Amino acid sequence: MKKIFNKKVAVVSLLVLSLGCKKSLDINQSPNYPPVESATMETLFPAAVLSTAGRVGGDLSIVCGMWAQYWTQNNNSSQFRNVDTYDLQSASAFVDGPYTQLYAGGLYDYTTGLALANTSKNYRYKLMYTVMKAYTYQVLVDLYDKVPYSEAFQIGTILQPKFDDGYTIYQALIKDMDDALSKDYRTGPWTDEQRATDFVFGAEELKEVQFDYWEKFANTLKLKMYLRMVNAKPAEAEAGIRALYGANAKFLDISAQVNLFVNVPNKSNPFFEYNFRRLNTPDNLKASATFTSWLDKNADPRAKVYFGVDNPVPSINQGDYLNGSTHPEYNDAVNVVVKANDPVPFISAAESYFMQAEALERYFGGAGAKDMYDKGVAAAFAQVKITPPASLLVTYAYPATGNFETKLEAIITQKWASMFGSHGLEAFFEQNRTGYPKISAVYSDDPAYIPGQIVYAPNGVTGEGNFPRRFVFPDSEVRRNSNTPAAVPITTKVWWGK
């Protein structure tokens, strides 16, 4: 992919300039900044993908990674205190930014590009647009529970779209992916220039199998959505997963991700860009004792990649930033390591394997689950370029003789350990879905604390044990759309929550 990166950056830079204000009314339209309506499938797709990656891998991973307790607020700064205390209000940029930009950026472009693909019967772009639109909507649904869908983007007709419930949107997204998968997307004209607009699977080395991987991405996204349903819609979840396996669906064995960031302002990994470059300090986020205690307990060498030091990792108890005076060791806590060129995963190979392991345990008697789990562990270490020692693989061995909950805990815990960095959003979702890592009965400074269990921040504003389960509706939508549902507390689970 790096071979075609410079051309891609040039295209994206132009797109950002020309499409950044596309929803504004401008009666004096400059020919140098054409309206989005004149854009093509080729120009819309990369801008849309970067819009999704910018939010999913940026501020959403920072916030939700804090709630998944990979990192915590530095006791000597204040940038993320409201996040660490679960005090995200509707006017917060962390709430409003993802909602507004994923609609105005990614989803608007996916919707526009998909219409062009349908009109021209370009089934290659139809699949790409459909899958990325479904992925982006799934993120919004899982964060806000209800969002505009059926009446969205009917500009000039419906200015205040209704909010659809998450289950209804899930059903529609799966139906759309099924429709896209039913088309002949492997044949027809497809130039190198068009391939280069695919920031997910457009690398030269994937040229011959590019659309095999888009099919796998669609199937894996469907698998994830069905697994999200297991608590609220168990019959539909089982039927959907059984149908995938009955059709011999292929799932991702490489990561669906954007991996073309460089150490240049506005072109680097969005987590790095937001937290390090724009804030002009690496010191806001420190290692959380919740995560490091688990890494230390297992002598897990990923500590070196995640935090830059070997075990044991100097850290801060989650949310304990006000007690630095009584914990001078907090001043030695290490920073989070996120690099400018780190990728932003949508679904990683490790995540795909762990999902398959769970599905096989749930519905197929566990046949093949251990193999998928082992592949997940291997992929999790491979993505950070570490070969785990044999002794650690014994520690992390699949509990083949355990009951279902024991196996599920092992799967989700390893998934949690793999999602550090720009994949932190998914760790938050999975903890809400499964309850793993478990919630601790004591705080992490208590001798009875079990390493790796989630603790309630001592400065939390939601009441002991009431953890964030969603985002509140953003103030901008409340003010502009009378159909916005009544305010729901941040501690209320979304429709699929455990």
- What residues have CB less than 8 Å from 187, skipping those under 6 apart? none
Nearest to 131 by CA among 192, 210, 207: 210
Percent of the chain residues topping a pLDDT of 90? 89
Instruction: Name the residue type at position 106.
Output: G
Place of tokens 């990656």: 53
The answer to whether the CB of 255 falls within 8 A of the CB of 347 is: yes
The answer to whether the CB of 313 falls within 8 A of the CB of 295 is: yes
- What residues have CB less than 8 Å from 4, skipping those under 6 apart? 196, 202, 203, 204
pLDDT (mean) for 37-41: 84
Residue 295: helix, strand or coil by DSSP?
helix
Q: How many CB atoms lie within 10 A of CB 338?
A: 26
CA dist., res. 214 & res. 201, Å (int): 8
pLDDT tens figures, 73-85 = 999 999 999 999 9
How much is the pLDDT for 281? 77
324 or 27: whose pLDDT is higher? 324
Residue 52: helix, strand or coil by DSSP?
helix
At residue 36 the predicted structure's pLDDT band, cuts being 50, 70 and 90, is: low
How much is the pLDDT for 410? 98
CA dist., res. 194 & res. 175, Å (int): 26
